[in-house]
Amino acid sequence: MLILFGLIAIAFASDPKKPPEQTEALTGPALVDYLRKHQTLFQVNSEPEKRADYIMDVKYASLPADVPIKQVPLSDDDEDIPESFDSRTAWPECRDIIGDIRDQSNC
């Protein structure tokens, strides 16, 4: 037990190394070089091609010109928002699907 307290005391007593203040202003290739020299936790990759792998192609950002855009008119009725709403009773034909949604974490 005494050893455990000693290890905890040493862990809290050690002063973590802070990078020099001038490193906060580094960007681009200078930052990449600094990280490659001073850390070993991960590999630094500054190739634009690798960054582009995470970006969606611009062709998916808009609809093609030949695809019509469906416009839905807004309702003018002044109905109040209901106190409660259950989609299973509002759309009984979809009750089986609506009642079985298990994971919405990626929505």
Structure tokens at 1: 């037990």
- pLDDT, residue 13, reads 64
Tens-digit pLDDT string for the chain (107 aa): 778 777 777 766 666 666 777 888 888 888 889 988 888 888 887 777 766 666 777 777 777 788 888 888 877 677 788 888 888 888 888 877 776 666 666 55
Distance CA 37, CA 91 (A): 61
- pLDDT, residue 47, reads 76
φ and ψ of 69, to 5 deg: -95, 120
Distance CA 13, CA 73 (A): 66
Radius of gyration in angstroms for the set of CA atoms belonging to the chain, rounded to a whole number: 28
φ and ψ of 34, to 5 deg: -60, -45
Determine contact, residues 95/88, Cβ cutoff 8 Å.
yes
User: Full-prediction pTM beyond 0.85?
Assistant: no
φ and ψ of 7, to 5 deg: -65, -40
